[in-house]
Amino acid sequence: MLTVKRAASLLAAVLACLWASWWTNAQEPAGKQGDPPALDKDEEFWFTRVKRRPAAAAQLVLARNPLTVAALRLKSLEEMVWEGLEFTDEFAPALNPDWLEDMVDNRPLPDIRGKSPEELPKSALPTYHAFSQALTYAFQYPPEAFKKSARENADITFSHLWIEPRVNRGKVVPVKGRLVRIRKREAPWPAKLQGVHHYYEAWLFGETKHSFPYCLWFTTLPDGLEVAEEMRKQASFEGYYMGRFTFRVGPAAEQKDIDVPTFVGPTLRVSPTPARPIDDTPFSLVVLIGIVAMLVGLVAAVCGMSWWFRKGDRAIQAQLTARQEQQALEMMENAEAGSFAPEANVDRPPPPMAHPVDPDRLPKP
């Protein structure tokens, strides 16, 4: 009898989970707008995660059957009521690894603004669910939690994100640079159910000249910052690294596709000091001064060496000229002395031979 009751309780729990899933999907819009229907205060209770937690906990307490509790727990995790191993809000929670594994890089980011899963192709669903979950966590967890999680990945650079997107996908990574644009977007349907009706898209360039841009999604606009197509502010950000996605940028006549690292986080940290223009960096001025100084030094060295060699050449030429004049005077003096010398004696016999020849050894005729 007891076994039958447990089986009946388990069956009831499974049917309740299936009914809840069907009822939630039935509430999603089938049209192209994707806007959630207007809810009264009683209905809004079940779409607010902070209020759904105690209600789900009460259901687990009332369901004494362990199998029923396990089924409700799994359904709560699927509906993102709780996260696994969530005891404190000190760190940002981990994203669903299955969704992250199925995401594909170097492809255009699907348009998920205000859309339900039925409006997207099957290949875009992992990206759709992962971004929705990241936006939900960014909305519900404080920025300090993301900042603490980012400290563990402070050594991750742009090259790591670019070369190994799958390895670093889902990690909370810090980035900083020049903030140049902020736009407002409509949140996808799963994030809307958790209270995220809109999110903001920002474009951030690195701190070096000709650096690559980052695309940042966040849920809370900082105080004093407004949506604008052009700005120059120094900012930092901590958020989930979602991978490389293809964006079309540039003027209408010169548009091109580029792959951009994309992040999702709670908010931006804007510095009160305005950022320098992208094309005005101290490095360029130093290089220009160095090149000019090197050219001036090279010209000065060439001129100095030429003057030194000419000076030495003049000294050598003067010494040679003086030596030639001295030799000419000596030759003239020797010529005058040789004209008064006695004549040679032609009658003087020649000197004897060093080895006289014996007549007896001469050959006879």
Q: What is the pLDDT of residue 19?
A: 52
Strands 256-265 and 213-218 come out as parallel
CA–CA separation, 4 and 233 (whole Å) = 67
What is the C-alpha to C-alpha distance for residues 38 and 195, in angstroms, rounded to an integer?
13
242 in Cβ contact with 131 (< 8 Å):
yes
What confidence score (pLDDT) does residue 343 get? 52
Extract the residue ranges of the chain whose pLDDT is less than 50: 1-2, 20-47, 84-88, 280-282, 340
From residue 128, give the alpha-carbon distance in Å to each of 110, 139, 168, 319: 8, 17, 19, 93
**b/e map 292-303, b = 16+ CB within 10 Å:** eeeeeeeeeeee
Q: What is the pLDDT of residue 96?
A: 95
Measured between alpha carbons, how far is 314 from 4 in angstroms, rounded to an integer?
A: 122
Q: What is the C-alpha separation between 329 and 333, in angstroms, rounded?
A: 6
> Could you tell me which residues come within 8 angstroms of residue 72 by beta carbon, excluding any fewer than 6 positions away?
13, 17, 56, 59, 60, 63
The predicted pLDDT at position 49 comes to 52
Look up the pTM and report it. 0.57
In one-letter notation, the amino acid at residue 47 is F
pLDDT of residue 364: 58
Burial class for 278, CB neighbours closer than 10 Å (0-12, 13-18, 19+): middle
Query: What pLDDT, on a 0 to 100 scale, did the predictor assign at position 206?
Result: 86
At residue 290, the pLDDT reads 82
First to last CA, the chain: 168
